[in-house]
Each structure stands twice: as structure tokens, then as C-alpha cells.
Amino acid sequence: MNFRDLEYLIALEELKHFRKAADKCFVSQPTLSGQIKKLEDELNVQLMERSSRKVIFTPAGLDIVAKAKTILLEAKSLKEIAKSHNEPMRGTLHIGLIPTVAPYLLPVIIPIIKQTFPDLELYLHENQTHVLLKQLEEGELDCLLLALLPGMETFNKLDLYDEPLELALSDKHPWSEKEMIDLNELSGEHVLMLADGHCLRDQALGFCFTAGAIEDNSFKATSLETLRHMISAENGLTLLPQLSIPLNRHQSGVKYVPFQSPSPVRTITLLSRNNSARQVCFDQLAQLIHTAVAERLAEY
Amino acid sequence: MNFRDLEYLIALEELKHFRKAADKCFVSQPTLSGQIKKLEDELNVQLMERSSRKVIFTPAGLDIVAKAKTILLEAKSLKEIAKSHNEPMRGTLHIGLIPTVAPYLLPVIIPIIKQTFPDLELYLHENQTHVLLKQLEEGELDCLLLALLPGMETFNKLDLYDEPLELALSDKHPWSEKEMIDLNELSGEHVLMLADGHCLRDQALGFCFTAGAIEDNSFKATSLETLRHMISAENGLTLLPQLSIPLNRHQSGVKYVPFQSPSPVRTITLLSRNNSARQVCFDQLAQLIHTAVAERLAEY
DNA sequence: TATTTTTAATAGCTTTACTCTATCATAATT
DNA sequence: AATTATGATAGAGTAAAGCTATTAAAAATA
């Protein structure tokens, strides 16, 4: 039994005539006859009485025609489901983000994504890099927005933007009035850091090590916001990514000073599985994010 | 797209493994791979991501698997419908009967039919022979219970019983005490008849003509019961089929006298289309009716 | 780092099943 | 009796689906 056989049967019930039904189905009369016979043999039930003048459906035949119609409708619906999924910017999308990106990037991009791709249903998952990578691999997430690190080569990456880090410090700190600062001036300074597992911690540690700065071991923050409040309270120093910094670089007791070139920087990337079916979607999304963030960063 | 492809897809979604899914479907792995690929091409949508380690279904794939499951369920249900119709003594049956048979035969056979074949749903249609034959031909009726007449050779017939006609007359008539009577004694008598269109009228007329009796043209009855009442009221004569006669041959002013051999007789037959799908059903029904009526007639 | 293992895709051939044209058989109509 | 209408049958051709053997690529293991 296959879908075509059911079409033959339905046409035959409608027209009560083998040749006409065959014409309607664009096959020859013997073909239709044969397939109907095959169907009867397979179902082991006589679907109609044939005579040279009349085709009379049996009750069994009529019941089966009715069921056949619902099956063909379902098949049509299946094809329409497929069609609706053909549009890349439609359907659900599970995005993973790291905690040092999510709260600052999302307000910039969510409104424009919702406006540009209203049929995209976003689910946002905030987690640390190693968790996100695992989830992406398992297929639990569709793509990630995070800072590019070594070891991500097995994934497909679309670079979104390079995000400079700036020096955050209390507005009572002697350096707080500086317009710019050189990374090497941090030599010997104690710097506050995020807790283990945050990729920004490792990156910042790297820059500090190069500059000769020292981690302040008395405290490890669990979020950038905690870190920011600590700076204000403790008169400390830290590195914060640009998107988390207010435009005027001075707010609630904290001042922000950009570094002189070459500034410490991290690359924010859209990561997806190499063989993901939604590459077209990611391309468009990356393009949109790139533009939106470029506009935002230009405001500094 | 066909049903098998959907089975492959469902197995693959369940096992997330091409070879295992192929095993489950009793085909080779390349066959399953090929058909899945064909399905994707046909639906023009990627149903899953493949890698050498993982099979991850896309949202489109999952939606389509869900729909595929309902389609296969419907297909299964279609086969079960066919199966249920395989039992010949089940389902609806439209039976046509003539008015001179229905009221007398049905009480005899309906209880035993309902008891023997409880899954048979009977619809009874009372009409004159020519109407019934037309309806049978058109497929509106499945079979007929009527008196066999010339011109019915194109149908399939199963003889049920031979029904003798008896002489019905007022209990005040001089012949009313006779045990038996010879048909030829009717010579010159006036006999009451049914209206045109009743086959019993034509048959009775035939017997009367042979015997030399004359039709009483002053009245034509539209039913046997009217005829019976007329006999009582008008002191007339008529021929009535045995099943319409009370067992003691005397009731409400009417007496019944059987004819000496050779008695006038009609053959009651089950008629169906030659190519009817339900010949088995009719055979069993005829057998049952034959037995039930034989038992009833033996009581006279 | 090289080797083995796992897993899906590909190539090439075979088989199945569907379709076609031509013809037959039967019953209805002329 | 001849013609027409209609479905069934026969036989050949084609397309689809199946198989085995092999390849390719990634992961696991040595």
C-alpha cells in the first residue's frame, strides 16, 4: 500500500469509472486496475463490485475510501510542515551565551532580532563556556555567542565583533581622571578577577600576566556586576569588556579608562556545529549582530 | 514519499543511528541512508545533522517525525477497517422485501438472524418487485427477498422456500368447512385481487385463469390485510400465501382451505447481484432463512 | 603519532514493482 | 447480429528500491 494507491482508490470512488479515474490520475487504465486489485489483495477485502456497466463500492470500500482521504490529508499536512521549515529565519532557536556577554549584548540585539525576524522564537541559555560547548555538541543548543578561545576549531565560527577591555576603577583612584592608559602601567598592581570557569577571568589573567600585574586573591567575583560594586567599595582595579561600560565612562562611583593601542581585546563569536542545518540562519543572525554592535560601539 | 520511508525516519529518530535503524527495518544501511536522503530532497528540508558520531534531528525533522507517526497510525487503522470487513456476517445489510412477504416472513426470521449474527446491522426496505430490482441493480440494496419471476436470471438467486397459496373465504361461505379444495373448483367464481404492481396479483391471476376463475373488478386491495378484511365483510374469495395464514386456519371471520396437489405455489428467493462481494453472507443468510421457514411451515 | 574502530556515504549491480501498449472478454446497446 | 463500452489480462519496458562492497572521516586506542 502506498499513497498513490489511495489516490487511485479515491478517484475511482469519485468517478465510479476505471478509465476516467485513470485519466484523472494521469495513468493508464490497466495501471489503475492493477493497483486497485493489488490493494484489494493486500487488504484482503473486496472494495467494489465491477461489471462492464457499473462500479459499486462495498461498505468496506467506502469505509476505506474515507480513511484514505484522511491519510492523504495528513500527508499533505506533512509536506506543509516541511515547507514551513524551509524558511531559515523561522522556528525555535536555542542560543547559549556566556555570563560576561549575555546581560550586555542581549539588550543591544534582541529588539532588532525580534523586529527583523519576527518568526524566530528565541530561547536563551546562560552558562559558562565549557558547559555551552558540551550542550552545543549534544544538540541541546543550536548556537553559542561567546568569546573565541583556542580549542574551538572543530566548530563553525562567525566572528561578530572585537570587544576591547577597559580599566575599571574607583572614581577616587588617582588614575581615574586619565583619558587613556597603557596596559603596562598595571605592572605590580593588584587586580580583581572573576571566579574560576569564566573565560573572561582567564583572558584577563593573561593580559595581567603580560603586563606584570597581580591577581587580588582576597576576592573572586561571581559576576561582572559584583566585580563592579567591589571596585567602587574597595578602591580596586579590574578589566571590564566595553559593552558592560556606560557611555560616559563614569557611573555609581566607578570610572572606566580605555587602554592605549594595542588594547586588550576579546573576540565575540557565533559558534555552531559544522554540519548544522541552519547555517543560513546563523549567517543572517551574525550579520545582524555585527551591524547592531558596530553601531553601539561607535557611540563611545 | 511512501509509508516505508516514514518508518525508516521514525526508526532513525528513535535509535539515532543509521545501521541500527536499518536493522530494525530489516534493510541494509545504505538503503535506509538513501531513502532518508530521498525524503529530504523531496521535502526540501534537512531533517537531521549527521556526523560520524551523532545523529541530531532538526526541529523540522522532529515535527515531521511526529506527523509521520500519526500517518502510520492512520494507515494501521485503515488495515484494521479492512480486517473488520473481512468477516462476512458483519456490517450493514440493506435488504429489499415485497409487501406480500415482509410482514409475514420477518417475524419468523428476524429474531433468529439477530441471535445468530449479532454483528449484522439490517436495514429493511419494503417495495414492489420492479422498484426493488432497480434498487438492487443500482447498488442501493444488497439483496432482495421476493417471489421468483421470469426475467430475474441476470441476478444471483438462492431459493429459500416454496410457499403454497391457500383459499381464503368467509366462515359463512358454503365451502368454509372443506378440509381441502381443488383449484379447478374455482371455475366461474369471482376472486378478489391485490392492486396492480404486486407480483402476487399476477401470480394469483395466472392460477385463476388456468382454473377458469374471474377477477372481481369491483375492488383491488392495496395490501393482504385489506384483502383479508374484505373477504370477511363481503363474503368473497381470494388466494393468500401460507405464511400469512394463522395456524388454525380460522380467525376473525375468515377461514383458509388448502388446495389439493398440485397446489398453486410461489417460490421465495434471495436475489443479489451476480458479482456481489457478499455472496458468502447471502449463502449463510439463505441457509438460516430456509431452516427457519421450514420449521414454521411444518407446523401447519 | 600512528593504528584501529566506528559510522555514514557512495558506487555499481540486481531485483522488484510499477507503468505502458495491445488485446481480450463480457455485457449492454443498436 | 454487430457495435460499443468497460474492465481484465499479457507481456515488455522503466524506474525505484534493494543489496554488497568499498570509501571517507572522525573518534578512540595504542
Written in H, E and C, the secondary structure of chain A is CCHHHHHHHHHHHHHCCHHHHHHHCCCCHHHHHHHHHHHHHHHCCCCEEECCCCEEECHHHHHHHHHHHHHHHHHHHHHHHHHHHHCCCCEEEEEEECCCCHHHHHHHHHHHHHHHCCCEEEEEEECCHHHHHHHHHHCCCCEEEEECCCCCCCCEEEEEEEEEEEEEEECCCHHHHCCCECHHHHCCCEEEEECCCCHHHHHHHHHHHHHCCEEEEEEEECCHHHHHHHHHHHCCEEEEEHHHCCCCCEECCEEEEEECCCCCEEEEEEEECCCCCCHHHHHHHHHHHHHHHHHHHCCC
Q: Do A70 and B74 touch (CB under 8 A)?
A: yes
Give the integer Cα–Cα distance in Å for B198 and B132.
Answer: 12
Residue B175's pLDDT band (cuts 50, 70, 90): very high
- Measure, in angstroms, how far nucleotide D24 C1' is from residue B1 CA: 29
Q: Which cell goes with B168? A: 381464503
The CA distance from A158 to A288, in Å, is 12
Any strand D atom closer than 7 Å to A46 CB: no
Instruction: State residue B49's pLDDT score.
Output: 85
* Cα A71 to Cα B232: distance, rounded to the nearest angstrom: 64
User: Which residue in B44, B59, B71 is closest to A71 by CB distance?
Assistant: B71
At B109 the pLDDT is: 96
Taking only the tens place, the pLDDT of each residue in A175-193 is 989 999 999 999 999 999 9
Q: Do residue A82 and residue B68 have CB atoms under 8 angstroms apart? A: no
Q: Where are the alpha helices (DSSP H) in chain B?
A: 3-15, 18-24, 29-43, 59-86, 102-116, 129-138, 199-211, 224-234, 279-297
Residue B292 has a pLDDT of: 96
Question: In chain A, what residues touch B3 (CB-CB under 8 Å)?
Answer: 1-3
Rounded to an integer, the average pLDDT of B157-178 is: 93
Report whether pLDDT(A90) > 80: yes
Name chain B contacts of A3, Cβ cutoff 8 Å.
1-3
In the prediction, which pLDDT does A53 show? Answer: 76
Among candidate residues B204, B238, B206, B203, the one with its CA nearest the CA of residue B219: B238
User: Residue A146 forms beta bridges with which residues?
Assistant: A269
Count CA within 13 A, CB hemisphere, residue B290. Answer: 12
Compare CB distances from A85 to B45, B82, B92 and report the shortest one's residue: B45
Question: What domains, with CATH codes, occur in chain B?
Answer: 3-86 (1.10.10.10), 91-159+270-297 (3.40.190.10), 161-265 (3.40.190.10)
Longest dimension (CA), chain B: 107
Nearest to A18 by CA among A45, A44, A46, A56: A56
Residues 6+ apart with CB under 8 A from B82: A43, A44, A45, A60, A64
Backbone phi and psi for residue B63, each to the nearest 5 degrees, phi listed first: -60, -40
Asked whether the beta carbons of A293 and A160 are under 8 A apart, the reply is yes
| Average pLDDT value for residue range A156-182 | 93
- The band of A300, judged by pLDDT with boundaries at 50, 70 and 90, is confident
Long-range Cβ pairs for the range B205-213 (8 Å, 24+): B207/B165, B207/B183, B207/B239, B207/B264, B208/B239, B210/B183, B211/B183, B211/B184, B211/B185, B211/B186, B211/B187, B212/B184, B212/B186, B212/B187, B212/B188, B213/B186, B213/B187, B213/B188, B213/B189
Residue B81 at interface with chain A, using a CB cutoff of 8 Å: yes
Reply yes or no on whether the pLDDT at A59 is more than 90.
Answer: no
End-to-end CA distance of chain B: 68
Rounded Cα–Cα distance for residues B4 and A174 (Å) = 76
The mean pLDDT of A193-206, rounded to a whole number, is 93
Q: What is the DSSP letter of B181?
A: B
Q: Is the CB of B50 under 7 A from strand C?
A: yes
pLDDT at A275: 73
pLDDT for residue B259: 95
- Other C-beta atoms closer than 10 Å to the C-beta of A85 total 23
- Closest residue to C28 by CA to C1' distance? A53
What number is the average pLDDT over the span B136-146? 89
Least confident range of A45-54, A159-168, A212-221, B155-164: A45-54
B257: its cell numbers: 382451505
Residues in CB range of B112: below 8 A, 6 or more apart:
B288, B292
pLDDT at position A214: 92
Q: Is the CB of B2 under 7 A from strand D?
A: yes
pLDDT digits (tens, 9 = 90+) for B28-63: 899 999 999 999 988 988 888 887 678 889 888 898
pLDDT band at A208 (very low <50, low <70, confident <90, very high): very high
B76 vs A127 pLDDT, higher one: A127
- Contact residues, chain A, for B275 at CB < 8 Å: 49-51
CA A272 to the chain's CA centroid: 8
Among the listed residues B233, B236, B255, B230, the one whose alpha carbon sits nearest the alpha carbon of residue B245: B255
> For B208-225, how does the pLDDT look when each residue is reduced to its tens digit (9 = 90+)?
999 999 999 888 899 999
pLDDT at position B241, please?
97
Position A101 confidence tier, pLDDT thresholds 50, 70, 90: very high
User: What are the φ and ψ backbone dihedral angles of B296, each rounded to 5 degrees?
Assistant: -70, -45
* pLDDT for residue B296: 92
Residue A164 CA to residue A1 CA, distance in Å, equals: 64
* C-alpha cell read off for B72: 502510520
Q: Please name the residue whose C-alpha is nearest to the C1' of nucleotide C23.
A: A30
What pLDDT sits at residue A187?
A: 92
What pLDDT score does B59 carry? 86
